Amino acid sequence: MATNSSFQDLRIWQESMDLAVEIYRATSDFPKHETYGLVSQMRRAAVSVPSNIAEGKGHRSDPEFVRFLFHARGSLLELQTQLLIARRLRYLSEEKADELCRISDDIARGLNALINKFRERAA
């Protein structure tokens, strides 16, 4: 059974919340014609990461939690792809894109570690 701590206590949730805020800030300077395109997609993917972690934690069973962690990882991979597109389009500076990619890589490693931990416990 997943522990009784809150999803807000999870470091990975906190880091993914910070990333979501950074994505909102970074996309605020994108061209207006991208408001309903890349901006919307990036924001939705970024918000989906901590949202799936929280939802999975709420199910209170390890297999369900792992399923939602996989959803969070999928959203993170979407976001990483969108960051690369934004870099190629020069909507993000190289420095900002590198920073956001580094943060997302750290979160991906954390998600993978959490997935492995809870899969082992469920086995």
DSSP code, position 37: T
**C-alpha triplet 97, 99, 39: angle, nearest 5°:** 45
- Express each pLDDT in 42-100 by its tens digit: 999 999 999 999 999 998 788 999 999 999 999 999 999 999 999 999 999 999 999 99
Say what the pTM is. 0.92
Domains, the chain: 7-122 (1.20.1440.60)
- The beta strand positions in 1-123, using DSSP E, are none
